[in-house]
Amino acid sequence: MLRRMLLAASASERLRELAVSTPVARGVVARYVAGDRAAGAVAAARRLRGAGLLVTLDYLGEDTTDAGQAAAVTSEYIALLGRLADAGLARGGGVEVSVKPTAVGLGLADHGEKTAAENITRVCAAARGAGTTVTVDMEEHSHVDATLRIVRALRDGFPDLGCVIQAQLRRSFADCAALATPGSRVRLCKGAYAPPPEATFASRAGVDRSYARCLGVLIAGSGYPMIATHDPRLIKIAAARAYLAGRAPPSFEYQMLYGVRPAEQQRLAATGARVRVYLPYGSDWYGYLVRRLAERPANLTFFLRSLVRRS
């Protein structure tokens, strides 16, 4: 219930304006976000690479309703990839980028899907030039079909384009089976949005069981599974399944969010596993932060107190 309320708050324009226009809870924001600008994000990525971790960078923003803004976000990604190449960080996919389809136009009233596909194509071309890859994030349930259509279409030209499957959705086992093909990069997460009840598993245990089933199909397949979770039980299951399937560390990776279980990120990397940190930056942090608070309500009291104090 609290999670659903919080996720509804992530879409509220009034709350977004209040939160973003006041210097609220900087401590909470800084825990999850690498700063407002690309320079800070590149510096943070360099530190993580130095600690033996891989990185995927996300320029914060979503639900763009303006084609100019979608183009500006695309340009930001292209400039970022240039910086990463210059810094020697992009090579071999050490630092890649994650793109939200609605940030580059998917939600536009006219030709949203076409615009997002064109913009993601431009980001993919820049990533290829820099020597790295792109992963397309998954957002609200209403965007899943269009997002998967875009990924399928773009993979003709960019076979290393990654996509995301949300285990909370009932459809996801079938999606994983279809995506477990040679070279296919698939990030498996639980899902950070609130889909309609009929489309989702109601209980946390149901989502976890779905995650384990999806994991099974991805690990048994011939793609490149990207296991995005902080859940200790699922990490153990993933390690055991990978071992039993004879998958060596370079044939899959773990992924975790910046600021969440950093000691576990280091522990896994020390075992020789590939571990990638999802590292967001930018000033439009509100939606991202509220989804993180929905996963971890313990942080909520601190955040709301600072919001009330400063408003």
Ligand X SMILES: Cc1cc2nc3c(=O)[nH]c(=O)nc-3n(C[C@H](O)[C@H](O)[C@H](O)COP(=O)(O)OP(=O)(O)OC[C@H]3O[C@@H](n4cnc5c(N)ncnc54)[C@H](O)[C@@H]3O)c2cc1C
Residues identified as active-site: 137, 187
Instruction: Give dist(CA 67, CA 48) in Å, integer.
Output: 34
- By beta-carbon proximity to ligand X, the closer residue of 109 and 203 is 203
Contact between 179 and 186 (Cβ < 8 Å): yes
Hey, what amino acid is at 84?
L
Identity of the amino acid at 250: P
Q: Residue 60 CB, nearest distance to ligand X (Å)?
A: 13
Q: Which residues are at the interface with ligand X (CB under 6 A)?
A: 137-138, 164, 166, 187, 189-193, 228-231, 255-257, 260-261, 278, 292, 295-296
Encoded amino acid at 66, one letter? D
Strand order, beta sheet including 54-59: 134-136, 95-99, 54-59, 275-281, 253-257, 224-228, 185-189, 163-166
* Residue (97 or 257) nearer to ligand X, CB: 257
CA distance 192 to 138: 9
Helix (H) or strand (E) holding 111: none
In the bound state with ligand X, the residue whose beta carbon lies nearer, of 88 and 302, is: 302
CB of 62 to ligand X, least distance (A): 11
Residue linked to tokens 């919080």: 6
SS3 11: coil
Question: 96 or 160: whose CB is closer to ligand X?
Answer: 96
Tokens 């303006």 belong to: 66
